[in-house]
Amino acid sequence: MLIASLKPRTMGGTTNMGLLAYALHRAGHPVTCYDADESRQLVRWSLKATDFPCKVHPADTPSFAESVYPGMDHTRINLVDAGHAENHPDIVDSVLEVADLVIVTLSPTEPDYERLVRPERGTTIAKIIKRSAAMRDSEQPPATYVLLNRCQASSGSPQKYRRLLTNGGEDGTDHRWTVLSTRIPRLEKIASAVGSSPSHRDVKAPYDALVTELTRLGHVPEQGAAR
């Protein structure tokens, strides 16, 4: 299976994919990562952290579906970290042709929300995902969830933006997203996670919860039994 991390611009996507790879590995799943961002940050993380749980293959190509996907071991959980959808819609289109599950990382703040629903330029991620149906064998867009990250403990904004995302904005005319219950907290230890091994419980726990939720939703197989 293939899980894709998408975002309109810098949102915490690489941090989430790397820490999800560690969490899947802790849960006993065989994992492989693909870095479809030309900045190759996930590749560098895997080279720097000696215990990174898997190989990260560079895969920043608009022919991802034709040249990368067929070579994957589909018995493993494959993760792909895509770059800015605003700047690289061609790569994102190709990832969406074959992804089983999409996780859109978003912080519950006005600028990040606006960037998702009303980008200054380019096509909204919601539309990019919707139109991918035409290119997919299933003729349906992939299952897609928003993962709220950088959530301030005791702040009302995760709840506020969860409601806006779920309801399609204040007037219900925007895309209606499904938002994961798992929230990634705003933490300095997570902010500095890229390039190192997560050792602190506060860094691991939210991503263990994410694996549990994705398993409960049926998107990740029961422990150690990847499809």
Binding site for ligand ATP (CB under 6 A): 7, 10-15, 37, 39, 83-84, 149-150, 184, 186-187, 190-191, 194
Q: How far apart are the first and last CA of the chain?
A: 7
Least Å distance between CB 225 and ligand ATP?
29
Give percent helix, percent strand, percent coil of the chain, each to the nearest 5. 40, 20, 40
- In whole angstroms, give the CA distance from residue 108 to residue 155: 10
Q: Which residue is nearest to Mg ion (CB)?
A: 14
- Please report, as a single letter, which amino acid is at residue 123: T
Least Å distance between CB 157 and ligand ATP?
14
Interface with Mg ion: number of residues (CB under 5 A): 2
The reply to whether 5 sits near Mg ion by the rule CB under 5 A is no
Span of 13-21, 94-102, 155-163, 168-176 interacting with Mg ion by CB under 5 A: 13-21
Instruction: CB nearer to ligand ATP: give 41 or 132.
Output: 41
Instruction: CB nearer to ligand ATP: give 18 or 226.
Output: 18
Q: Are the C-beta atoms of residues 59 and 80 closer than 8 Å to each other?
A: yes
Least Å distance between CB 133 and Mg ion?
26
The reply to whether 14 sits near Mg ion by the rule CB under 5 A is yes
Which of 223, 146, 144 lies closest to 184 in space, CA to CA? 146
Instruction: CB nearer to ligand ATP: give 105 or 132.
Output: 105
Q: Is 14 exposed, middle or buried (0-12, 13-18, 19+ CB in 10 A)?
A: buried
From ligand ATP, Mg ion, none, interface partner of 187 (C-beta below 5 to 8 A by class):
ligand ATP
- In whole angstroms, give the CA distance from residue 110 to residue 182: 20
CB atoms within 10 A of CB 209: 16
Binding mask 51-70 for Mg ion (x = CB under 5 A): --------------------
Which of 212, 152, 160, 203 lies closest to 182 in space, CA to CA? 212
Least Å distance between CB 3 and Mg ion?
15
Helix (H) or strand (E) holding 104: strand 101-106
Instruction: CB nearer to Mg ion: give 91 or 226.
Output: 91
Binding site for Mg ion (CB under 5 A): 14, 41
